[in-house]
Amino acid sequence: DTAVSQTPKYLVTQMGNDKSIKCEQNLGHDTMYWYKQDSKKFLKIMFSYNNKELIINETVPNRFSPKSPDKAHLNLHINSLELGDSAVYFCASSQGHNYEQYFGPGTRLTVT
Amino acid sequence: SQQGEEDPQALSIQEGENATMNCSYKTSINNLQWYRQNSGRGLVHLILIRSNEREKHSGRLRVTLDTSKKSSSLLITASRAADTASYFCATATYGNNRLAFGKGNQVVVIP
């Protein structure tokens, strides 16, 4: 069974569109994260939730909105997509912020 | 903030050789972790070393931690083509509810 899954794996869309990426973990973890990895492989944290509560909200445009319907799911909705949003987005989960993190396979977003 | 800094950034070795990567950080840590990322995949946790530990082993991996120098090293012994990947260090610091990832080291193992 996949521990952390994301859908879709690839997402190609035009500027101005709205899209969502879904993430689910079956590890029973309380903490989930969204990261953005750019073309130089630099990994930047975007959001973190602990038991459905927002813990980290980095300086990202408010076009990005996370939603956690339960502690096993953390979805990412992006409004009015821009070219600069093109990147690979990773979901991750952990027992807590000092513990090892388990990453999903990533969603490669391409905005044209 | 991203405080882990790996060095060197790109390494190319022959299969069977050892590969060593270093990571430096700036503030006191709770623990330091190493992750591997194969091309097109998510990061995979390799090993976690706590601030009161100096060395840790896992299979062909050996991690050291020197808190006085604020640095860590990852040694991969007897490398294999499958070890070709990017390797990231990440630090967990007190009072900070996140991991700070470094820029990553690209390791290429030539068969």
Rounded-to-10 torsion of CA A110, B2, B5, B9: 10
Residue B90's pLDDT band (cuts 50, 70, 90): very high
Asked if residue B1 has pLDDT above 50, the reply is no
* Residuewise pLDDT in 10s, chain A (112 residues): 679 999 999 999 999 999 999 999 999 999 999 999 999 899 999 999 998 888 888 878 999 999 999 999 999 999 999 999 999 999 999 998 889 999 999 999 999 9
Question: Cα distance from A100 to chain B (closest Cα, Å)?
Answer: 7
Buried/exposed A41-72: b ≥16 CB within 10 Å, e otherwise: eebebbbbbbeeeeebeeebeeebebebeebb
Contacts of A90 in chain B (CB under 8 A): 42-43
Residue B6's pLDDT band (cuts 50, 70, 90): low
pLDDT at position A90:
98
Name B44's Cβ contacts closer than 8 Å, sequence gap at least 6. A103, B35, B36, B37, B38
Which of B29, B49, B99, B101 should one mutate to test binding to chain A, selecting the residue with the greatest count of A CBs within 10 A? B99
Q: Which residues of A touch B (CB under 8 A)?
A: 4, 33, 40-45, 48, 55-56, 90, 92, 97-106
pLDDT tens, residue by residue, B30-87: 999 999 999 999 999 999 999 999 999 999 999 999 999 999 999 999 999 999 999 9
Which of B86, B97, B103 should one mutate to test binding to chain A, selecting the residue with the greatest count of A CBs within 10 A? B97
Asked if residue B8 has pLDDT above 80, the reply is no
Which residue in the set A41, A55, A104 is minimally distant from B42, CB to CB? A104
Look at A106 and B42 and tell me if their CB atoms are within 8 Å: yes
